[in-house]
């Protein structure tokens, strides 16, 4: 295009490029052209093409905008200095579960400065001291609040984190005229040493004594670990709490979990006759193509304990510091929790045990092998077509409720992708370790059918344990109705048409 034919800019476009010409308005006997301000969108007349009005408005609007921004910045700084304080920083760290060293992170410091320039970021040690003060104030506030409550129920639980340090959480439940049903965290005790009944009882008693509510305890709810029964006996006899007549309530969801796991032989000790032999060199680029197909139950459990709290690391990227065991930790509490799990083999549940062994091996192996993980990820993504987001195979852990149901659900949801992954593994060269592994753990059509049967069977129990584990509503009143409903459903299934499903329903009914 020649320069002669190119459209020349108007006077408005040349001198005020951000302004735009708008439809003219009717004047006195003629149409008056208009220009719109890009800041306030006010329309300015351009009589006979003159830009004097535009120029005057541009100057005044620029000054007004600068004054407005300065006032906004001044008010923002004042508001930020008043609202973004050490109190809000502590609340952020505690409520969001952030590490204390976040205050030393340069990106976090830059973010805070953008909100409030005048805020002085405390050091990690200073933040820790302030949080400890808050803990002391919290304890005193709880003591004062519970002083007027005559009857209190207690829930106790032992928590562990990836560093294997453990804590005892003690929560008070009560009713008050002002609040109705209420709950308060009495204490979160760092549990040192062995997880024995004596150690747990000592932690509970010390916390209740400090809160001034020893004589008000009417019930203590725990899970069904044997160490908790021992702790309750010691509280009654050695610590003199028997006079209060408190009732020890055990967790119904835990009992329901044990009934299902034992009835269907979820954790029966597997045979090691089909153990996968690891020979030859590792595949290039793979860091853990190791023998996993024939792991015996105790060895599996050791690995489960290490990975218990790290299942989502592939999704969240929240790798721990690698310190999976500390000097003062033993696994007696976990062993006490799982000691009621029946590990004896049963001919009627042998098929279930064989299937679950394969599924657990796949879950474990995919975390150990980069090659297997990448291949599974690719296969599932290609089969999903954006229908679902890929999630890693969940761990099935003996001390985690409903983990077997979640494991089965994964293989049902991602069946097409896993089948493609399985075919690709079996198509590799004969001596390939991934092929040898998959050959020992391949899922057959009958396995897939059993997965669907078990998933349908366990679904109502998964819902029931969620119901019984409610923390913001009462659950004891629903126990009888829910268990009767489960019983009726099992009776209906026991008289159904599918032979495999009938047998499983009858087994659960026996308990």
Q: How far is CA 113 from CA 108, 119, 331, in A?
A: 9, 7, 45
Judging by beta carbons within 10 Å of its beta carbon (0-12, 13-18, 19+), is residue 281 exposed, middle or buried?
Answer: exposed
Tokens (6 digits) for 229: 């029964």
Residues paired with 416 in a beta bridge: none
Tokens (6 digits) for 365: 């192996």
- Select from 306, 284, 311 the least CA-distant residue to 407: 311
Q: Which residues contact 244 (CB under 8 A, 6 or more apart)?
A: 214, 215, 216, 217, 218
- Select from 455, 420, 424, 456 the least CA-distant residue to 437: 424
Q: How far apart, in whole angstroms, are the C-alpha atoms of residue 118 and residue 220? A: 49
What are the sequence ranges of the domains in the chain? 11-75, 84-146, 150-250, 260-323+348-459
Strands 217-222 and 152-160: parallel
How confident is the model at residue 498, as a pLDDT?
A: 53
How confident is the model at residue 132, as a pLDDT?
A: 83
Q: How far apart, in whole angstroms, are the C-alpha atoms of residue 236 and residue 225? A: 18
How confident is the model at residue 420, as a pLDDT?
A: 93
3-state DSSP assignment of residue 61? helix
Number of Cα atoms under 13 Å in the Cβ half of residue 360: 27
The model's pLDDT over 137-155, given as tens digits with 9 standing for 90+, comes to 888 888 888 888 888 888 8
Residue at token pair 């069977």: 457
Q: pTM of the full predicted structure?
A: 0.56
The tens-digit pLDDT sequence of the chain (511 residues) is 455 555 677 877 778 888 888 776 554 445 778 888 887 878 888 877 788 888 888 888 888 777 766 665 665 555 555 556 788 888 888 888 888 899 999 999 898 888 777 778 888 888 888 888 888 788 888 888 888 888 888 888 887 765 667 888 899 988 887 878 888 889 888 888 777 889 999 999 999 998 888 888 988 988 877 888 899 999 988 888 877 788 888 877 777 777 777 777 777 664 433 333 333 333 333 444 444 444 333 334 444 333 333 333 333 333 333 333 333 333 444 455 555 565 555 666 778 888 889 999 999 999 888 999 999 999 988 887 766 678 888 888 776 767 888 899 999 989 999 999 999 999 999 888 999 999 999 999 999 998 988 888 888 888 887 777 766 666 666 677 777 777 777 777 656 555 556 666 666 666 5
124 neighbors 142 (Cβ within 8 angstroms): no
Question: What is the DSSP code string of 70-107?
Answer: HHHHHHHHHHHHHHSSHHHHHHHHHHHT--GGGGG-HH
| Torsion from C-alpha of 497, 501, 505, 507, nearest 10 degrees | 120
How confident is the model at residue 345, as a pLDDT?
A: 57
How confident is the model at residue 105, as a pLDDT?
A: 92
Question: What is the DSSP code string of 236-256?
Answer: HHTSSGGGGT-EEEEPHHHHH
The model's pLDDT over 230-263, given as tens digits with 9 standing for 90+, comes to 999 999 888 888 777 888 888 777 777 777 777 7
Q: Class for domain 150-250, per CATH?
A: alpha beta
124 neighbors 166 (Cβ within 8 angstroms): no
Which secondary-structure segment (H or E) carries 132?
helix 124-146
Tokens (6 digits) for 138: 């919290």
3-state DSSP assignment of residue 365? helix
């Amino acid at each position: 295009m020649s320069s002669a034919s190119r459209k020349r800019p108007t006077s408005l476009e040349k001198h005020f490029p951000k302004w735009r010409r708008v439809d003219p308005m009717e004047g006195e006997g003629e149409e008056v052209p208009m220009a719109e301000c890009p800041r306030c969108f006010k329309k300015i007349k351009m009589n006979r093409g003159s830009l004097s009005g535009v120029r005057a408005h541009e100057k005044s609007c620029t000054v007004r905008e600068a004054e407005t921004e300065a006032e906004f910045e001044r008010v923002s700084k004042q508001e930020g200095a008043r609202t973004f304080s050490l109190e809000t920083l502590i609340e952020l760290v505690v409520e969001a579960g952030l590490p204390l060293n976040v205050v030393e992170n340069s990106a976090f410091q830059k973010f805070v400065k953008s909100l409030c320039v005048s805020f002085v970021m405390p050091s990690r040690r200073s933040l820790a001291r302030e949080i400890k003060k808050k803990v002391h104030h919290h304890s005193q506030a709880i003591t004062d609040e519970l002083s007027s409550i005559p009857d209190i129920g207690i829930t106790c639980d032992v928590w562990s984190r990836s560093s294997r340090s453990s804590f005892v959480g003690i929560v008070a439940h009560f009713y008050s005229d002002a609040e109705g049903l209420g709950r308060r965290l009495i204490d979160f005790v760092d549990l040192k040493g062995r997880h024995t009944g004596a150690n747990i009882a000592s932690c509970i008693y010390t916390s209740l004594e400090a809160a001034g509510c020893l004589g008000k305890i009417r019930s203590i709810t725990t899970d069904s670990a044997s160490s908790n029964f021992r702790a309750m006996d010691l509280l009654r006899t050695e610590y003199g709490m028997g006079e209060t007549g408190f009732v020890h309530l055990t967790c119904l969801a835990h009992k329901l979990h044990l009934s299902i796991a034992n009835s269907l032989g979820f954790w029966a000790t597997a045979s090691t006759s089909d153990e996968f032999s690891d020979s030859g060199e590792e595949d290039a680029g793979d860091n853990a193509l190791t023998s996993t197909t024939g792991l015996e139950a105790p060895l599996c459990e050791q690995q489960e304990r290490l990975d218990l709290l790290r299942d989502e690391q592939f999704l969240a990227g929240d790798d721990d510091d690698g310190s999976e065991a500390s000097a003062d930790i033993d696994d007696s509490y976990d062993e006490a929790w799982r000691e009621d799990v029946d590990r004896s083999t049963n001919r009627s549940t042998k098929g279930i045990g064989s299937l679950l062994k394969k599924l657990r091996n796949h879950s474990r192996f995919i975390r150990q092998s980069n090659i297997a993980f990448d291949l599974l990820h690719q296969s599932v993504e290609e089969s999903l077509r954006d229908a679902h987001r890929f999630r890693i195979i969940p761990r099935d852990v003996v001390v985690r409720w409903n983990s077997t149901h979640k494991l089965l659900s994964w293989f049902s949801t991602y069946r097409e992708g896993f089948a493609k992954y399985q075919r690709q593994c079996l198509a590799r060269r004969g001596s390939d370790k991934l092929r040898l592994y998959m050959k020992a753990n391949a899922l057959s059509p009958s396995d897939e059918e059993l997965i669907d049967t078990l998933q349908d069977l366990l679904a109502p129990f998964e819902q029931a344990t969620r119901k019984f584990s409610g923390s913001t509503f009462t659950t004891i009143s629903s126990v009888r109705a829910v268990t009767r409903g489960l019983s009726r459903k099992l009776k209906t299934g026991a008289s159904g048409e599918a032979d495999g499903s009938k047998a499983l329903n009858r087994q659960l009914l026996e308990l």
